[in-house]
Amino acid sequence: MIQPIRLFGDPVLRQRAVEVVDFDKELRKLVEDLTDTMLDAPGAGLAAPQIGVGLRVFTWHVDGETGHLVNPVLDLSDEEQFGPEGCLSIPELSFDCRRALSVVAKGFDMHGEPLTIEGSELLARALQHETDHLDGVLFIDRLDDETRKAAKKAIREAEWFGAEPPRVKVSPHPTGGLGL
């Protein structure tokens, strides 16, 4: 089910999400909600905190491939890429951001089975971006000082900035006290 996406300024976006310990029906529903919301937006990825759930889960949709990862751990390449990056929680804005060119992401699927995802370029960028969300880090935090200053100015001037936050029901997912 499509959920409201939390926007820049919502405190849940700045909190570290907790590890998933129960690979149950609620987790599968969370992955379904993340996927539906991400595809509807549309976006290249969506992390649980972006829909108000403080758990270490995200989905991605890159080059026609859709997937999810629970409790990710990343191994980054030394090679870097520099290019445009955006965020569904900072709509309609993108800025050039430096990321590792390739990544190996290890974690679990929604059933608790080990999962390894290897990606480069856009998939690597999406995996890093979504893992950052799970640590309370936004991509604008990774911009150089001058670009970050321009980004914050653009955010303050955005039509959506300071808008009434969406009304959300209490999450049916255990959040460990994080999020709603």
Residues with active-site annotation:
130
The whole-angstrom separation of Cα 9 and Cα 152 is: 11
Give the number of residues written for the chain. Answer: 180
- Which residue do the tokens 């029906």 mark? 25
Q: Residue 73 forms beta bridges with which residues? A: 106
- C-beta neighbour count of 30 within 10 angstroms: 25
List Cβ neighbours of 24 (8 Å cut-off, separation of 6 or more): none
